[in-house]
Amino acid sequence: SKNIVVAIDGYSSCGKSTLAKALAKKLHFIYVDSGAMYRAVTLYFLRNKVDINNPEQVAEALKNIHLNFHSRDYQTHITLNDEEVSDEIRLMPVSQNVSPVSAIREVRKEMVAQQQRMGKSKNIVMDGRDIGTAVFPHAQVKLFMTADPHVRAQRRYKELQATNSDVTLEEIFENLAHRDYSDTTRKESPLMRAEDAIILDNTNITPEEQLAFALAKVEPFL
C-alpha cells in the first residue's frame, strides 16, 4: 500500500514542529522539519556573503550546499556540508534573513525536490509553509496551524531563553510578524491553507490535545 504523508503548515512559531515530532514519534513515521532546510541554506548564504539578487551566485551556492538530517530521536539534527548547524540556524541572524532567501525560486525548487524524495516511499510527517500546497499536494492528511500572535511570540521567547539567547520579546514578536507577512505575500508558493487542509488553532489547547486531534485524522489511513 502507499506510504502515508502528513503535511503540517502554518504561521511561524505555531507549534507545528512540536506537534509534528510528537505525531511522528507516536506513529513511528519519519519527521522532516522543512524550515530547518531553508534556515541552513540561509546560514550558508550569510557565511559566504551570497548576494540573493545575483542568480549566478545563488545557483553556485545551491550546488555547494549539502544538507542531511539525522532525526533518530525525533529532534531536528541537520548538517550543512557535514557540519552540525542545528543550534545556529535558530539564532536571530538566520531568523531575520530566512524569509527573503526562501522566497527565491531556485532555492525552493531545490528544497522541494529534496523534500519530495524524502517522502516518496516512507511514512512521513513534514512541517513547513508549502507542504500541503506544493510539496505534497496529495498528502493524505493536511493540517493548517494557527495561534494568537502574542501567544506564539511568548512561546518562542521561552524556548530561546532556554538557550541563553538575549533576544527580547518585542524582537521576537516583530520577527514573527515580519516573516508571516513575507511568507504569505511572496510570489513563489506563498504560505496558504490548502483547500483540503484542516485548521488547527492551538492558542488554547494543550500539546496532548493537539496530538489526539491529529492522530484521529491519520488513523483512518493506517
Task: Please state, in angstroms and rounded to a whole number, the distance separating the CA atoms of residues 88 and 195.
Answer: 35
Question: What's phi and psi for 51, nearest 5 deg?
Answer: -80, 115
Task: Please state, in angstroms and rounded to a whole number, the distance separating the CA atoms of residues 35 and 37.
Answer: 5
Q: Residue 143 interacts with ligand C5P (CB under 6 A)?
A: no
Task: Please state, in angstroms and rounded to a whole number, the distance separating the CA atoms of residues 60 and 210.
Answer: 41
Candidates 5, 6, 7, 12; binder of ligand C5P (CB under 6 A) is 12
Candidates 35, 153, 173, 202; binder of ligand C5P (CB under 6 A) is 35
Write down the least CB distance from residue 203 to ligand C5P, Å.
18
Nearer to ligand C5P, 27 or 40 (CB): 40
**Among all chains, which residue has been given the C-alpha cell 517522502?**
119
Nearest to 105 by CA among 134, 128, 70, 69: 134
Q: Residue 76 interacts with ligand C5P (CB under 6 A)?
A: no
Nearest to 37 by CA among 66, 72, 7: 66
Candidates 86, 102, 133, 202; binder of ligand C5P (CB under 6 A) is 102
Nearest to 46 by CA among 5, 101, 110, 112: 101
Query: Strand (E) positions, 1-110?
Result: 5-10, 30-33, 67-69, 78-80, 83-84
Q: Residue 175 interacts with ligand C5P (CB under 6 A)?
A: no
Nearer to ligand C5P, 38 or 45 (CB): 38
Nearer to ligand C5P, 34 or 202 (CB): 34
Strand partners for 9: 128, 144
Candidates 8, 29, 32, 34; binder of ligand C5P (CB under 6 A) is 34
Task: Please state, in angstroms and rounded to a whole number, the distance separating the CA atoms of residues 221 and 29.
Answer: 13
Q: Which stretch binds ligand C5P (CB under 6 A): 23-31, 44-52, 95-103, 201-209?
A: 95-103
Nearer to ligand C5P, 27 or 107 (CB): 107
Q: Which stretch binds ligand C5P (CB under 6 A): 124-132, 158-166, 197-205, 213-221?
A: 124-132
Task: Please state, in angstroms and rounded to a whole number, the distance separating the CA atoms of residues 183 and 133.
Answer: 13
Binding residue ranges for ATP: 10-18
Write down the least CB distance from residue 176 to ligand C5P, Å.
9
**Binding track over 181-210 against ligand C5P, x by CB under 6 A:** --x---------------------------
Binding site for ligand C5P (CB under 6 A): 12, 34-35, 38-39, 98-99, 102, 128-131, 179, 183
